[in-house]
Amino acid sequence: MNFRAIKTIYVFEMTRMWRTLGQSIASPIMSTALYFVVFGSAIGSHIETIDGISYASFIVPGLIMLSVLTHSISNASFGIYFPRFTGTIYEVLSAPISYKDIVCGYVGAAASKSLLLGSLILATSYFFVPVHIQNPLMMGFFLILTCITFSLLGFIIGVWADNFEQLQLIPLLVITPLVFLGGSFYTIDMLPPIWQKISLFNPVLYLISGFRWSFYGSGDVTLSVSFVMIGVFLAISLFIIRWIFKTGFRFKS
Average pLDDT per consecutive 10 residues, the chain (253 residues; last block may be shorter): 88 83 74 74 68 83 89 91 87 87 94 92 86 90 93 94 86 86 85 88 90 89 89 93 89 67
pLDDT at 236: 95
Nearest Cα to 66, choosing from 220, 171, 160?
171
- Phi and psi angles of residue 53, each rounded to the nearest 5 degrees, phi first: -115, 135
Q: Are 171 and 156 in contact (CB under 8 A)?
A: no
pLDDT at 16: 78
Q: Is residue 33 situated within a structural domain? A: yes
pLDDT at 130: 83
Q: Is 144 exposed, middle or buried (0-12, 13-18, 19+ CB in 10 A)?
A: middle
Q: Which long-range contacts (CB under 8 A, 24 or more apart) does 52-60 make?
A: 53/216, 54/129, 54/130, 56/128, 56/129, 57/129, 57/130, 57/131, 57/132, 58/187, 58/212, 58/216, 59/35, 59/184, 59/185, 60/122, 60/125, 60/129, 60/131, 60/215
Residues 6+ apart with CB under 8 A from 77: 154, 155, 157, 158, 161, 167, 171
Q: Are 121 and 147 in contact (CB under 8 A)?
A: no
CA atoms of 13 and 123, how far apart (whole Å): 24
Q: Is residue 252 situated within a structural domain? A: no
Give me the domain span that covers residue 143. Answer: 3-247
CA atoms of 66 and 77, how far apart (whole Å): 17
Q: Are 79 and 110 in contact (CB under 8 A)?
A: yes
Q: Is residue 126 situated within a structural domain? A: yes
pLDDT at 131: 85
Domain count, the chain: 1
pLDDT at 219: 83
pLDDT at 20: 72
Q: Is residue 218 situated within a structural domain? A: yes
pLDDT at 203: 87
- Predicted structure pTM score: 0.90
Report in angstroms the alpha-carbon separations of 128 from 41, 165, 181.
9, 36, 24
End-to-end CA distance of the chain: 27
Q: Is residue 253 situated within a structural domain? A: no
Q: Is residue 91 situated within a structural domain? A: yes
Q: Is residue 99 situated within a structural domain? A: yes
